[in-house]
Amino acid sequence: MNFELGADSEAFRREVAAFLDEHLTPDVRDRVRASGSMHDWELHRALAGRGWLAAGWPKEYGGQGRSPLELMAMREELKKRHAPTEGMGMTVLVARTLLDAGSERMRAEIIPRAINGEILICLGYTEPQGGSDVASARTRAERDGDGWVIDGQKVFTTLAEEAHYVFLLTRTSTEGPKHRGLTMFLVPMDTPGIEVHPIRTLGGERTNTVHYTGVRVPDSARVGAVDGGWDVLMTALTYERSGVGDDSRLLNTIVEAARDAARETEGERGAAHSASIDDPTVRERLARLAIDVEVAKLLGRRSCWIEATGGIPTVEASMHKLFHAESRLRFSSVLLDLLGPRGLREVGDPLAVAGGAFAEEFRHAVIMPIWGGSSEVQRRIIAERGLGLPRSQ
């Protein structure tokens, strides 16, 4: 099977690269590092101005009708440059979910503002006691006349400090299986009773704890059926996992930088490691990393190919997410062993590996097996839906 993206996709990649040359400026990078938020409004609105927030959507919904292969090329280029597009990713996946499960009002009022770059939407799934078991949500939504009152707490709500809405998972029933008592809401973040508290992460990024105390919303804020939130959530998670970007170009750049560092002698350019390219075990470890990068790329492109041919890559997206996350963690650990202290030099240090990209990668890799569904969740999906194995207890 040929996993090349094709001439149209490569032409689009060049267009995206030229756009980033112009708009992904040092000022943008400095703002993102200072805030810890992987979002920049100036860049976000420039992307929206090109119509790229929903580039793959049908034209009748405000998109450009671009193919999944073209979208893969765009994601690869954005990832290669470390472009701060987390707000774009979350907002578009919620907007895409609203096309399937939202009300007519949401389609008419929320979606156009989302894809035009006017608003951001964050994800309110995870709770302190639940972790990746989102079905154990305790944040409670109770009927109150024609509306609802929401009380509870969410954690790791990234970009809550910037978002205009939260796509919120709540508990509306305690009867029956826990995943059948959930309901989704789209809640304005300026609603009274919402408090946002920052959490600073090892990766240098900001996320948040969000408290909901007596938050009142109308029934028109509900997405999908009462107690039908699990089905809405599964739709959103499928879009999230299939949209995982391919980092192969960035990671290959880091591998090449590590290879060059291994060629340097002790004391050259401040080298402080024992890895030598003359050591066959060093060459083998670098080769295995390059193989992992290629395998992750091909798994991602397989999911992309399934989308391009009209399928829904539920299992394949989980395979990609699992291998991508686990190999990234392995990648960073092995390279730090090889590079030694020099591998921890940050952006701005002239001796930093790959201009500091490796130090950022090393700190970020530790969260990869958790976000978007932990590795254990992905293994369950592969086992049960892909292999037909019985549900684990």
- In angstroms, rounded to a whole number, what is the distance separating the alpha carbons of residues 80 and 383? 32
Mean predicted confidence (pLDDT) in 354-377: 81
Secondary structure letter of residue 39 according to DSSP:
B
Residue 368: the pLDDT is: 82
Q: Is the pLDDT of residue 2 over 80?
A: no
Using the structure block, give the residue that is written with the tokens 């949401």: 106
- In angstroms, rounded to a whole number, what is the distance separating the alpha carbons of residues 245 and 319? 14
Give tens-digit pLDDT for 153-169.
999 999 999 999 999 99
Mean predicted confidence (pLDDT) in 74-86: 89
Identity (one letter) of the amino acid at 51? G
Mean predicted confidence (pLDDT) in 47-64: 92
- In angstroms, rounded to a whole number, what is the distance separating the alpha carbons of residues 259 and 338? 10
Q: Residue 147 — left, alpha, or beta (φ > 0 → left; ψ -120 to 50 → alpha)?
A: beta
Distance of CA 95 to the CA centre of its chain: 15
Q: Is the pLDDT of residue 52 over 90?
A: yes
Query: pLDDT band for position 272 (50/70/90)?
Result: very low
Least confident of 129-133, 185-189, 199-203: 129-133
Please give the share of the chain, as a percent, with pLDDT higher than 70: 93
Mean predicted confidence (pLDDT) in 376-393: 87
Query: pLDDT band for position 241 (50/70/90)?
Result: low
Residue 222: the pLDDT is: 98
Query: pLDDT band for position 10 (50/70/90)?
Result: very high
Among residues 169, 95, 92, 165, which one has the least CA distance to residue 127? 169
Residue 242: the pLDDT is: 54
Residue 301: the pLDDT is: 84
Mean predicted confidence (pLDDT) in 324-332: 88
Please give the share of the chain, as a percent, with pLDDT higher than 90: 48
CB 157 within 8 A of CB 209: yes
- The answer for residues whose C-beta is within 8 angstroms of residue 130's C-beta and 6 or more apart is 136, 137, 138
Residue 269: the pLDDT is: 47
Whole-model pTM: value is: 0.84
CB 220 within 8 A of CB 105: yes
Query: pLDDT band for position 377 (50/70/90)?
Result: confident
Least confident of 109-113, 134-138, 195-199, 256-260: 256-260
Q: Is the pLDDT of residue 234 over 90?
A: no
Q: Is the pLDDT of residue 331 over 90?
A: no
Sign for the pseudo-dihedral over CA of 64, 65, 66, 68:
positive
Tokens at 348, concatenated: 């701005």
Using the structure block, give the residue that is written with the tokens 């490796």: 358
Q: Which residue has the higher pLDDT, 342 or 296?
A: 296
